[in-house]
Amino acid sequence: MKNKKIMYGIDKIMGEYSLNIKENLEKYYGQVEEFKGSIPIKKEMTLWMKIFGRISKNGEKNNYFGRVYNKIIENYEEKLADKCKEYDEILIIGGVKFSENFSKKLKEKNPNINCIKYLWDKSNDKAAKRLRKSYDKIYSFEKKDVEKYGFIFRTSFYIDEYKNEEKDIDCYYLGGLREERRYKYIERLNNYCIKNSLKGVFKLFLKKGRDRDKYTNEDILTHKKITYKENIEFVKRAKTVIELNFFNQEGLTLRTFECIGSKTKLITENKDIKNYDFYSNKNIYILEKEEDIDNIPIEFFKEPYMELKDEIKDKYSLDGFLREVLEIEKPSN
């Protein structure tokens, strides 16, 4: 493998950990470089690119400004494809721009390059069709999408086994206020913590000025965006983390694997979690409905985390993830 070259792209939500991914890949590849997308990132854009892009986005793509902007992007993709053609593989994790047009140019220049996509969001018919044209392999965290679109199933991962820290938070939640249901769940959890003298830290994100009359409990709301790295610091300190799935989602979120990496218990609505090899009712409590929150045994917060086997932790680690999607054999000890 050391004679091979790879480019990788990581969703901006986890961009702070790009170096961790690079260092991990360098164990297996002779050359590793980050792929930032098939359109320039903001700091690489000229003033004119930003102006033409904004005008074309707000108006018709076929107007003068749209045509100029499209030509700029085409030239950028051509140069980028020339650079990327020297690589053997490209791995894209999450929402990194990888256009169909760029993929076509790249395949013309290097028909043997292996383009791999990992999805940690649900897909749809239109997106699945586009993805198949751009990638040789597509992995997804969502079993329904795997069955419907012919993707390959793979869960997400945790970046590293976080160092043990003092667990001084009993219950932690971070998420966007996408629906009223989330507000009701977290408010009830907050009341549960108060009643049972537990320390709860709840960060339900709501943009300033939005629905302030409807959502009034500032103890559970935050109006400041939290970075992924900041979130991990809270997870490491928490004894228990809350996971609330988005509507119609069955795939396990990043929260599940953050908990494995930080030896933190999980409270989740996801019933399918029982079918995974790391499941234990000592570490994971499943909610059927909002009212179940009142019935969570206080012992769940008080009793210690049950350690997982090393092979299970390895499977869901970043290294285990990369070995699986890139088909790399695990080095012998």
pLDDT at 260 (0 to 100): 95
pLDDT at 195 (0 to 100): 97
In angstroms, rounded to a whole number, what is the distance separating the alpha carbons of residues 122 and 140? 8
CA–CA–CA angle 153, 157, 169 (5° rounding): 135
pLDDT at 119 (0 to 100): 95
Instruction: Give 185's contacts (C-beta < 8 A, 6+ positions apart).
Output: 242, 244, 290, 293
pLDDT at 61 (0 to 100): 56
pTM above 0.85, yes or no: yes
Burial class of residue 168, CB neighbours in 10 A (0-12, 13-18, 19+): exposed
Residue 172, H or E segment: strand 171-176
Give the DSSP letter of residue 169: B
pLDDT at 215 (0 to 100): 79
Rounded (10°) CA dihedral 317, 176, 122, 232: -10
268 beta partners: 243, 286
pLDDT tens string, the chain, 333 residues long: the values are 678 999 999 998 888 889 999 999 999 999 999 999 888 766 667 776 777 677 666 545 567 777 777 888 888 899 999 999 999 999 999 988 898 899 999 999 999 999 999 998 889 999 999 999 999 999 999 999 999 999 999 999 998 767 667 899 999 999 988 788 899 999 999 999 999 999 999 999 988 766 666 777 888 998 888 999 899 999 999 999 999 987 677 899 999 999 999 999 999 999 999 999 999 999 999 999 999 999 999 999 999 999 999 999 999 999 999 999 999 988 876
In angstroms, rounded to a whole number, what is the distance separating the alpha carbons of residues 67 and 247? 38
| Percent composition of the chain: helix, strand, coil (DSSP 3-state, to 5) | 40, 15, 40
